[in-house]
Amino acid sequence: MKGKKKIVGLVIYFILLVIPIYWMLNMSLRSNADILASFALYPKDITFMNYMKIFTDSSWYMGYVNAMIYVVMNTLISLTVALPAAYAFSRYQFVGDKQMFFWLLTNRMAPAAVFALPFFQLYSTIGLLDTHIAVALAHCLFNVPLAVWILEGFMSGVPREIDETAFIDGYGFPRFFITIFIPLIRAGVGVTAFFCFMFSWVELLLARTLTVTEAKPISAIMTRTISATGLDYGLLAAAGILTIVPGAMVIWFVRNHMAKGFALGRV
Amino acid sequence: MKLTLAWMVWTVPTAIFCITIILTVIAMTIWQTVSPSMERRGFLPIPTTPGDRFFIGVLTSVYIFFAWIGLTQFALWILLLIVVCWIVVVMIWG
Amino acid sequence: MEKWPNNKAWLLVLPVFVIVAFSAIIPLMTVINYSVQDIFGPGQSLFVGTEWYRQMLGDYRLHEALWRQFLFSGLVLLIEMPLGILIALAMPKKGWGVPACLVTIALPLLIPWNTIGTIWIIFTRPDIGLFGAGMNNLLGIPFDHTARLLDAWITVMLMEVWHWTPLVALLAYAGLRAIPEAYYQAARIDGASAWSTFVYIQLPKMRGVLTIAFLLRFMDSFLIYAEPFVLTGGGPGNSTTFLSIYLVKIALLQFDLGPGGAFSLIYFVIVLLFSFIFYQALQRVGKGEKA
């Protein structure tokens, strides 16, 4: 009896969770004229017109390409610099380690709005405005601290005897780190990459501020469309559905490690 | 591409402020390397190292500054005096 | 186990320090510079001292945005924490349902923030949205989040709860999973009710993750920008203008560098205080786990 109540509650929650997404999917499969003309719980004449428009119009599909480029760049940069640093935090005691860790954490918490204005000036001065690397670097502000934080948790779970044995066996630090240590925390690296990907993918403000046309991500294109007159809901919904796809794919790959990542409580 | 600092629009007071903070942090790092100090309890409710106390002192000073600016019309040099005293108090007894 | 004291570890941290300092310290110093000057254009500026601070600290719209922000973050915590724990308790502990539940629950977290706003525009519009049209036509309750203050707040809260409760649920679930089965067996032998199991076993054992969930949700809701910006644009009037939205309006739309700089620093210092509290709580949780 009690178990049943739980399941019913959970099912209701899942339905509430999915309905808004379903509604957008519904809209994306109807033409704009149809949406405004009649109210329907499911699309009666399914049309892929909206999706076709996005895939054929370069001002739309380049938005996805641009976003993917800077997200991948950011994930790679974050992981590369965060791996050694996380090792240092998990293994060594050094002057200012706690202060350094706290300072990193404050950047995870800092409001992007505070940095948007000087970032704009900074990147236009060094001539990187409207490039992918500018957004990738700007997102490092919160993703690098996050990566250090998550990785440090995974690394602290590896017993230090392994390091000691390897050093006694004559491994140098770089060789030990790359061939032994990183494979040991594979899952942790995967989870970290997942979160870096996620936070860079969902961020709007910095990405919008630092791009004009060449590197404009899909999120900025969508926001511009919303404020434009003569809103095309079908098209907007289709664009929205397509922004969910990469995330849904990534989540499927890390589903088994996800619980561990959350268990550390370091999102 | 020209790398100048013009876009940061430096002024003398802000430059002095930033340099003071940076130099203090460097000095404290050197001090900590030369003679490592331990965590201890003072009048603050948490155990702190000198670095923590410096941070707490500066952060509370900024709040005092905001209160001063927002609520009163008194001159700023009085504030400066109060803030320096407060940081010293926190560093020694905090 | 003590960590190895070694100051050479700094070399490993250096790349992180450089990259984050570039993105954090240089902009922060720039904001400090802006905040004391009136900047008319390139090379033309006037030192105005603390004038902008005086203006921003006395700005009633900033006060309103700040109280609105605290109200919002408070409500978020009040709703999301209990709801998240309930969901975590209801989730299956083993079997095929576990990955299915995890993936479904995590889905909203992976949706770009502006898309979240878009979803809720489409879902709640009084003419085409299921929720909006349902309220108006089926239930006969007038509902329009673009015109009525209360409706705008309800919509923003619904969106926020929909978006972020999964995070609390996942954290709480991870905390529940970490409780050894022996505790439950002992409780069963004692004939403990579900409620007392919850109060005396599950809740204390989840304290660590719940602290983190609480603080993360507080911080992130304090910084919220994209979702309400897309959904309501801060309106109707200024009723859903939170701190970030107001700051962006001043700094990036009106391009008032001076007041924007002063506002940025005030905002940053508030966040810094909360970060410090967060870090202290984190240290305490870490020590509690080891003990």
A266, two tokens: 């370091």
Cross-chain residue pair B7–A125, CB shorter than 8 Å: yes
Q: How far apart are CA C74 and CA C6, in angstroms?
A: 43
C-alpha dist (Å) from residue A104 to A220, C13, C25: 28, 11, 11
Neighbours of B41 (CB within 10 A): 10
Evaluate the CA torsion angle A245, A246, A252, A255 in order and state its sign.
Answer: negative
**Which residues are paired to A93 by β-bridges?**
C5
Evaluate whether A144 touches C20 at the Cβ level (below 8 Å): yes
Domains and CATH numbers, chain A: 1-47 (no CATH), 57-263 (1.10.3720.10)
What's the mean per-residue pLDDT of chain B? 85
The answer, yes or no, to whether residue C258 has pLDDT greater than 90, is no
Start-to-end CA distance of chain C, whole Å, equals 12
Nearest residue on chain A to B52, alpha-carbon basis: A99
Q: Low-confidence residues of chain A, pLDDT below 70?
A: 1-2, 226-230, 256-267
**Which residues are paired to C39 by β-bridges?**
C45
Q: For chain C, what are the domain ranges?
A: 45-290
C162 alpha carbon, distance to own chain's centre: 13
pLDDT at res. C291: 37
Contacts of C210 (CB under 8 A, 6+ apart): C81, C85, C171, C172, C175
User: Which tens digits make up the pLDDT trace of C211-225?
Assistant: 888 888 888 888 888
Cross-chain residue pair B4–A127, CB shorter than 8 Å: no
Amino acid at A179: T
CB-CB neighbors (< 8 A) of B77 in chain C: none
Chains B, C: CB pairs < 8 Å? 52
Cross-chain residue pair B9–C272, CB shorter than 8 Å: no
pLDDT at res. A5: 82
Residue B24's SS3 state is helix
> Touching check for C146 and chain A: CB below 8 Å?
no
User: Which tens digits make up the pLDDT trace of C28-43?
Assistant: 888 888 888 888 777 7
User: Which tens digits make up the pLDDT trace of B46-91?
Assistant: 888 888 888 999 999 999 988 888 888 888 888 889 999 999 999 8
User: Which tens digits make up the pLDDT trace of C114-134?
Assistant: 889 888 888 888 877 888 888
> Touching check for A109 and chain B: CB below 8 Å?
no
Q: How far apart are CA C104 and CA C101, in angstroms?
A: 5
Nearest residue on chain A to B30, alpha-carbon basis: A95
Q: How confident is the model over C2-6, as a mean pLDDT?
A: 77
Cross-chain residue pair B63–C273, CB shorter than 8 Å: yes
pLDDT at res. C165: 93
Higher per-residue pLDDT: A229 or C68:
C68
> Touching check for B69 and chain C: CB below 8 Å?
yes
DSSP codes joined into one string, chain A: -HHHHHHHHHHHHHHHHHHHHHHHHHHHTS-HHHHHH---SS-SS---HHHHHHHH-HHHHHHHHHHHHHHHHHHHHHHHHHHHHHHHHHHEE-TTHHHHHHHHHHHHHS-HHHHHHHHHHHHHHTT-TTSHHHHHHHHHHHHHHHHHHHHHHHHHTS-THHHHHHHHTT--HHHIIIIIIHHHTHHHHHHHHHHHHHHHHH--HHHHHT-SSTT--HHHHHHHHHHSSS--HHHHHHHHHHHHHHHHHHHHHTHHHHHHHHHTT--
pLDDT at res. C52: 87
pLDDT at res. C287: 66
Q: What is the CA radius of gyration of chain C?
A: 23
pLDDT at res. C81: 93
Of C30, C171, C66, C14, nearest to A119 (Cα)?
C30
pLDDT at res. A88: 92
Residue A199: exposure state from Cβ atoms within 10 A (0-12, 13-18, ≥19): buried
The neighbours of chain A, by the rule of 3 or more Cβ pairs under 8 Å, are B, C
Start-to-end CA distance of chain A, whole Å, equals 36
Neighbours of B21 (CB within 10 A): 14
C55, two tokens: 């203006």
> Touching check for A127 and chain B: CB below 8 Å?
yes
User: Which tens digits make up the pLDDT trace of C130-188?
Assistant: 888 888 877 777 778 778 888 889 889 999 999 999 989 988 888 888 788 888 888 88
A255, two tokens: 């589903």
The neighbours of chain B, by the rule of 3 or more Cβ pairs under 8 Å, are A, C
> Touching check for C219 and chain A: CB below 8 Å?
yes
Q: What is the CA radius of gyration of chain A?
A: 23
Of C16, C129, C275, which has the smallest distance from its Cβ to A85's Cβ?
Answer: C16
A237 alpha carbon, distance to own chain's centre: 20
Q: In Å, how far is C39's CA from the nearest CA of chain A?
A: 13
Q: In Å, how far is C279's CA from the nearest CA of chain B?
A: 12
Tell me, what DSSP letter sits at residue B7? G
Residue A195: exposure state from Cβ atoms within 10 A (0-12, 13-18, ≥19): buried
Q: DSSP H helical segments within chain B, as ranges?
A: 12-34, 50-71, 76-93
Q: Determine phi and psi for C47, rounding to 5 degrees.
A: -75, 125
Core vs surface per residue A85-124: b (16+ CB within 10 A) or e = bbbbbbbbbbbbbbbbbbbbbbbbbbbbbbbbbbbbbbbe
The answer, yes or no, to whether residue C3 has pLDDT greater than 80, is no
Q: How far apart are CA A83 and CA C107, in angstroms?
A: 27
The answer, yes or no, to whether residue C290 has pLDDT greater than 50, is no
Evaluate whether C250 touches C260 at the Cβ level (below 8 Å): yes
Q: How far apart are CA A187 and CA A210, in angstroms?
A: 33
Residue listed under structure tokens 């200012």:
A96
B70, two tokens: 């927002």
pLDDT at res. A42: 80
pLDDT at res. C78: 93
> Touching check for C103 and chain A: CB below 8 Å?
yes
> Touching check for B59 and chain C: CB below 8 Å?
yes
* pLDDT band, residue C235 (cuts 50/70/90): confident
Peptide bond before C228: cis, by omega within 30 degrees of 0?
Answer: no
ipTM, 2 dp: 0.87
Superfamily of domain C45-290: MetI-like (1.10.3720.10)
pLDDT at res. B1: 42
Of A96, A121, A125, which has the smallest distance from its Cβ to B51's Cβ?
Answer: A96
Q: Which of residues 20-49 of B touch C (CB under 8 A)?
A: 33, 46
Amino acid at C181: E
What's the mean per-residue pLDDT of chain C? 85
Contacts 24+ apart (CB under 8 A), A49-55: A49/A234, A50/A234, A50/A235, A50/A237, A50/A238, A51/A238, A51/A242, A53/A235, A53/A238, A54/A235, A54/A238, A54/A239, A54/A242
Contacts of A186 (CB under 8 A, 6+ apart): none
Evaluate whether A249 touches A186 at the Cβ level (below 8 Å): no
